[in-house]
A and B are shown apart, each in its own frame.
Chain A
Amino acid sequence: MNRRLPLVVLTSAALALSACSSGGGSDEPAATSTADNAGETVTLWLAGGDTPDELRTYLQDTFASETGATLKIEEQAWGDLVTKLTTALPDAANTPDVVELGNTQSPTFTNVGAFMDISDMYDELGGDKLLQSFVEAGSVDDTKYALPYYFGSRYMFYRKDIWKKAGVEVPTTLEEFNSAVATIAEDNPEDIKNFSGFFIGGQDWRNGISWIFANGGDLATKEDGQWVSTLSDPASLEGLTQLQTIQREASKAPADAKDQSPWLYINDSDTILDEEGKQTSKTSLAAATIMAPGWAHWSIGDLVKKDGKQVREWNDDTFGVFALPGTDGEPAPVFAGGSNIAISAKTQNPELSEELLRIVFSPEYQKMLGGAGLGPANSDYVDSLGDDEFAQALIDSASNSKLTPAAPGWAAVESSQVLEEFFGKIRDTDDLAGLAQQYDEKITPMLNG
């Protein structure tokens, strides 16, 4: 297992010697000289296909020219990531050097010492400019282990035509949103059976918590060093009551629906033909509004033929986006998706791995992330997302976004699916306060690990 040790020692010696050779534009001295690293390989695990190919190529090319070493990128499926991290990270002989992982997965691994302490590079990589909620998720007290890689966030996609026919305007406050979607469902301008003003699945807690957050509530807070579930706090309860009204009056989604493929409900070229094969006036459109991650816009639009293939094409006349407004008219806090990036504690190439992080957090790469529609970790480069409506909605909704509590037992809460269960019961309960309290009692013991 320690066969590589002499090499590491050699590399470190070489580092000391070459500390003043020219670097990649930063003030820091280049950590390595390229010749010494030839033959070294650093492995980067990327989660899912979110990082586009151009960005991968850029990382590999830049890494090779800056360090002389090879960067091997391996893609891991999101669904298998925890299993693979659990087995490979503790194994010094086979660990990946640098890994991307989900932002809410970070506390689970940082708390058990899976990652290398990178506090000393924190300021160099962006410091306070980095998305702080993600930085916190990757820290244990003041020690930084995992830093933000990119963020995404959820916003509203709506049907301009339906909203207009129902006579409602794009809302500027949460109250307006709540009543607008109820009006649309009641009005049902297209006269479609089971039509939702806003489609939100009963068990879809990741979107549903926006109402808790927007009313100043939270899922859990730390009191006297202990985590406590706060679903039944007055502010949380206010949000849950609004959500209950939406589930009852505006949404026709089943109580057990989750947040999979919501765009299916807002597209409408899904025509229904009558007996003679003629197109009837009604479509199988199911909702006037959905809440989804920004990339859903690739799946929303009119059905058109392009190069002989049927695809969806966004149409500004029919479709629009906005960030969910809060009670005060500012964007509401919503759940932020995204990833963190960290160096394995067992890496055999710590210096080269740090070098890779420098490239990831370089202005060039941060701008490339933005150009690809991924929210850059460093707030200085958020402009690179562009100025179209999607970028605007992403920036607005992310400006106030929140993560799930950084409690040590949070992974246990999520894996037990207790939140799905609770949110799925909201619509049909007569005693929301009692239900919330009941689930607080279930969740609190799980939170502290």
Chain B
Amino acid sequence: MRRSPLSRALLALLGLAVAAVWAFPVYWMLDSALLPNVVLQSTTPTFLPFGGSLDNFAAVVSDPAFVRALSVSLVVTLTTVGAALVVAFLGALAVSRFRFRGRSAFVLALLLIQMLPAEGLFIAQYKMMSSLGLLNRSLALAVLYTAAVVPFTIWMLRGFVAGVPAELEEAAMVDGLSRTQAFLRITFPLLAPGLVASGVYAFLQAWNEFTVALVVMTDEQSRTLPLWLRGFVQASASRETDWGQVMAASTLVAVPVIVFFLVVQGRMSSGLVGGAVKG
């Protein structure tokens, strides 16, 4: 698109300003993670962590429970993301490419399910998992999480599936590709931005969820990262809450999300549809 260099520069400046506003609390977390607790209690803010140290990070990482919680969280979250994308993609395909009896009811049900209040469900969720013998199972938690994100993911993906012309696939099949090949080469890349956006959504929902995990993962060995993080916020009879450590722990919890995003974000670029149609 043609824009003058000046307006491009102004746009970039605006973009960076918005980025700064959203990143500021995150910067504050990082800054606090590098400072000792006594400095955090000062009435004058410390904007740069001069004289700070990695002590808080060292203290947090040396906790053996960290690695355990990290691996539980990774298993639960990646299972959720994978399962949610597959299940939701199939569902989105059905509602955007087919007319079938019950389709409206299905779509309406997806909307209504989003509205179910989750408060006070914890007793029933515990009873269900306990009677099935599924307490402390990462897979069980992943099933609950997947169910929580699938309705939104279907709504997100159906727009993308509908946006991919069926003729495009059919044309490719006429050109000799199998249906699978046509799907993988033509349709799938066009869905990528939607898959990425819903994947990031599913990842974050599962990664930061607290209440269900608290109820279902009863054992210390199977705690997820948010449950582990909770331990740092506790004051106890021998110490006050060390906010520097809380912030260091929180920073570590956030890192895998950023890594996940940087890995998948390349897929989130524009112009695919236009290019595909032209080609």
In the complex, whether A57 has a CB less than 8 A from a CB of chain B is no
**Which A residues lie within 8 Å of B240 (CB)?**
261, 263, 296, 298-299
What B residues does A52 contact at CB under 8 A?
238
Indicate if the CB atoms of B220 and A77 lie closer than 8 Å. Answer: no
Return B196 CB to nearest CB of chain A, in Å. Answer: 34
- The answer to whether A310 touches B39, judged by C-beta atoms less than 8 angstroms apart, is yes
Contact B44 A49 (CB under 8 A): no
Residue ID in chain B nearest A92 by CB atoms = B130
- Does residue A102 face the partner (Cβ distance < 8 Å to B)? no
Stretch of A60-68, A81-89, A136-144, A409-417 on the interface side: A81-89
Q: Report yes or no: B220 in contact with A74, Cβ–Cβ below 8 A.
A: yes
Measured between C-beta atoms, what is the minimum distance from A302 to chain B in Å? 10
Interface footprint category on A = 35 or more
B193 an interface residue at 8 Å Cβ cutoff? no
What is the distance, in angstroms, from A388's C-beta to the closest C-beta of chain B? 15
B238's partner among A50, A261, A303 (CB-CB below 8 A) is: A50
- Flag if A267 contacts B126 (CB, 8 Å): no
- Smallest beta-carbon distance B84→chain A, Å: 26
CB-based contact A87/B126 at 8 Å: yes
Are the CB atoms of A284 and B43 closer together than 8 Å? yes
Which residues of B204-249 are within 8 A (CB) of A?
214-215, 218-220, 230-231, 233-240
Per-residue interface assignment for chain B, residues 9 to 42, with 1 indicating a CB less than 8 Å from any chain A CB and 0 otherwise: 0000000000000000000000000001011011
If A80-B230, A263-B240, A295-B239 touch, whether A87 touches B122 (CB-CB below 8 Å) is yes
Residues of A within 8 A of B239 (CB): 49, 295, 298-299
CB-CB contacts below 8 Å: A351-381 with B = 372-374
Bound complex: CA of A296 vs CA of B237, how far in Å? 8
Assess whether B170 is interfacial by the CB under 8 Å rule: no
Q: Is the pair B38, A310 in contact by a Cβ cutoff of 8 Å?
A: yes
List residues of chain B with CB within 8 A of the CB of A84.
Answer: 214-215, 218
- Say yes or no: A94 contacts B39, CB within 8 Å: no
CA distance A267 to B42 in the complex (A): 10
On whether the beta carbons of B38 and A311 are closer than 8 Å, the reply is yes
Contact of B44 with A272 in the complex, beta carbons under 8 Å: yes
Give the chain A neighbours of B36 by CB distance below 8 A: 309-311
CB B31 to nearest CB in A, in angstroms, measures: 16
Could you say which residues of chain B place their CB within 8 Å of the CB of A311?
36, 38
The reply to whether A75 and B231 form a contact with Cβ atoms under 8 Å apart is yes
- Inter-chain contact B130/A77, CB cutoff 8 Å: no
Query: Judging by beta carbons under 8 Å apart, are B238 and A86 in contact?
Result: no
A236 to B55, CA, bound (A): 49
Q: Which residues of A contact B55 (CB under 8 A)?
A: 309
Q: A77 to B246, alpha carbons, bound, how many Å?
A: 14
Cβ-closest chain A residue relative to B221:
A74
Interface pair A77/B234, CB less than 8 Å apart: yes
Q: Which residue of the partner chain B has the closest CB to A337?
A: B237
A 263-293 contacts with B by CB, 8 A: 263-264, 267, 270, 272-273, 284, 293
Q: For B108, what are the chain A residues with a Cβ–Cβ distance below 8 Å?
A: none
Say if the beta carbon of A20 comes within 8 Å of chain B.
no
B135 at the interface (CB under 8 A from A): yes
| B122, A94: Cβ atoms closer than 8 Å | no
Contact with A along B124-145 (1 / 0, CB 8 A): 0011001000010000000000
- Taken together as a complex, chains A and B put the C-alpha atoms of A87 and B215 apart, in Å, by 7
Quick one: CB contact mask for A248-267 with B, threshold 8 Å, 1 for yes?
00000000000001011001
Across the interface, B122 reaches (CB within 8 A) one of A83, A263, A373, namely A83
- In the assembled complex, which residues on chain B have CB atoms less than 8 Å from the CB atom of A23? none
**Least Cβ–Cβ distance between B234 and chain A, in angstroms:** 5
Within 8 A of B (CB), among A84-119: 84, 86-88, 91, 93-94
Task: Judge whether B6 is part of the interface by a CB distance below 8 angstroms.
Answer: no
Asked if residues A78 and B234 are in contact (CB atoms below 8 Å), the reply is: yes
B1 contacts A by Cβ under 8 Å: no
- Bound: A272/B45 CA distance, A: 11
Complex contacts, B39 vs chain A, CB 8 Å: 310
- In the complex, are the beta carbons of B237 and A87 less than 8 A apart? no
Query: Whole-angstrom distance between the alpha carbons of A60 and B30 in the complex?
Result: 38
A94 touches B237 (CB 8 A): no
Interface centre among B135, B215, B237 (most CB of A within 10 A): B237
Q: With A77-B230, A83-B215 in contact, is A152–B43 under 8 Å at CB?
A: no
Q: What are 22 A-B pairs with beta-carbon distances under 8 A?
A: A48-B234, A48-B236, A49-B239, A50-B236, A50-B237, A52-B238, A74-B220, A79-B233, A86-B123, A88-B126, A91-B130, A152-B237, A263-B240, A270-B42, A272-B44, A296-B240, A298-B239, A299-B240, A308-B53, A310-B39, A311-B36, A312-B38
The 10 A-B residue pairs with the shortest CB-CB distance, nearest first, are A49-B236, A50-B237, A87-B126, A284-B43, A74-B220, A310-B36, A50-B236, A299-B240, A310-B38, A295-B237
Given contacts A83-B215, A94-B130, 15 further A-B contacts (CB under 8 A): A74-B219, A78-B234, A80-B214, A83-B214, A84-B215, A87-B215, A88-B218, A91-B126, A261-B240, A264-B41, A272-B43, A284-B44, A298-B239, A373-B238, A374-B237
